[in-house]
A = this chain, B = another copy of it.
Amino acid sequence: MKFIIQRDQLIASVQDVMKAISSRTAIPILTGMKIEARSNGITLTGSDSDISIESHIPTEEDGIVNIEDIEEGSIVLQAKYFPDIVRKLPEKTIEIESDSNLKVTIRSGKAEFNLNGQDAEEYPQLPKLQSDDSFKIPTDLLKSLIKQTVFAVSTMETRPILTGVNLKLENGKLNFTATDSHRLASREIPISGSSNEFPSIVVPGKSLNELYKILDDTEENVEISVTNNQILFRTKHLYFLSRLLDGNYPETSRLIPEQSKTVLQVKTKELLHTIDRASLLAKEERNSVVKLSTMGNELLEITGNSPEVGRVVEEISVQSIEGEELKISFSSKYMLDALKAIENDEVKIEFTGAMRPFIIRPANNDPILQLILPVRTY
């Protein structure tokens, strides 16, 4: 194998593929990165067996030559050293060559690295998904869906299914839902031009977090394919495969109250900053609890209290308060997460009493829903 490649192109691809590589893995060769040279370009592969990422650099694209002097072949290199080496090489082009003894030479300017490679034949084959029943959504929309839900997954391994995000595609609607059983985040978008459906699947939160990091903020489409145990996200040069979580995701729709006793509408940012300040004095507790009280029809009072340190109280003007008076306590962390996930200027919050879950939605009725269970403080 041999090729000469533009350093910046290689750096970008290496960074993407590294997201799938872990230094702790049961399969030693997976601590390496596979490099495959074909006449049409170079493909880098990384995998921790839960997530697999392939990044392709075409030989030529839009009239620009990325790679020259290709001799086909493949090799696996230690991922621990390769990214730093590529990043610190002195010149803009890099020559990579491997011989029949699996010795790899990386040259750039006067610098020459000789590395021990591993046989690419020993690298596991990635499953090739059938992509017949796939659908497409714009990359930036997929990133929003992830960002607005994935923070609510559970970090506890006691109920593994809750560490994933529940995806459904039914009746032309794609739904993302995550819950750790104390709060829930969900969003639905219409998918047009696809007769496709898949039932409830669960994608590990970790996979979606890594996917979020390597996707660009672009309107170009991501193609998504689902089988019964894997999901594939494919962009022009990227192939991101994740296993699915086994098990049945709990039915969450019954958690969502259908009636409400108190409804308020408030500026998102104003509430966010007020909650943030109220949370300052309760750092000791894990999810520092704050209290919200309605004061007539136009004011809320937000308070935080930490007996040893002190107390904070702040009034905030709201657009409207309808229904019963209310005093309720909740985790400021959950509330801050929920408010950050809503891009709209105003939010509508619907309460059904101090002991019942409450719902936060954007005031423009976008189908984003954040649900939080209150904390009993009386």
A355 interface contact, C-beta 8 A: no
In the complex, whether A247 has a CB less than 8 A from a CB of chain B is no
B312 contacts A110, CB within 8 Å?
no
Show 27 residue pairs from A and B whose CB-CB distance is below 8 angstroms, ordered by the A residue.
A81-B310, A84-B280, A85-B277, A88-B273, A88-B280, A89-B277, A90-B273, A90-B277, A104-B310, A110-B316, A111-B274, A111-B313, A111-B314, A112-B312, A112-B314, A113-B280, A113-B281, A113-B310, A113-B311, A113-B312, A114-B310, A114-B312, A115-B281, A115-B309, A115-B310, A116-B309, A116-B310
- Whether, in the assembled complex, A49 has its beta carbon less than 8 Å from a beta carbon of chain B, the answer is no
Q: How far is the CA of A78 from the CA of B159 in the complex (A)?
A: 39
- Does A337 make an interface contact (CB < 8 A)? no
B residues near A308, Cβ cutoff 8 Å: 116
Residues of the B chain whose Cβ atoms lie less than 8 Å from the Cβ of A281: 81, 113, 115
The answer to whether B311 and A114 touch across the interface, beta carbons within 8 angstroms, is: yes
How many Å from the CB of A279 to the closest CB on chain B?
Answer: 10
Does A315 touch B at the CB level, under 8 Å? yes
- Name the residue on B nearest A111 (C-beta): B314
How many whole Å from A274's CB to the nearest CB in chain B? Answer: 7
Chain B contacts of A95 at CB under 8 A?
none
**Shortest Cβ distance from A305 into B: residue:** B114
- Decide: A110 near B280, CB < 8 A? Known: A115-B309, A309-B78: no
**Additional pairs, 17, CB under 8 Å, beyond known A88-B276, A89-B277, A116-B309:** A78-B309, A81-B281, A81-B283, A81-B309, A81-B310, A88-B273, A90-B273, A104-B310, A110-B314, A111-B277, A111-B312, A111-B314, A112-B313, A113-B310, A115-B281, A115-B310, A116-B308
Chain B residues near A111: list those with CB within 8 A.
274, 277, 312-314
Within 8 A of B (CB), among A87-144: 88-90, 104, 110-116
Quick one: given A110-B315, A315-B110, are A277 and B310 in contact (CB under 8 Å)? Answer: no
Q: Which of A84, A88, A111, A276 neighbours the largest number of chain B CB atoms within 10 Å of its CB?
A: A111
A23 to B276, CA, bound (A): 23
Contacts of A316 in B (CB 8 A): 110
Contacts of A110 in B (CB 8 A): 314-316
Bound together, the chains give a CA A355 to CA B266 distance in angstroms of 73
Q: Please, which residues of chain B bring their CB within 8 A of the CB of A112?
A: 312-314
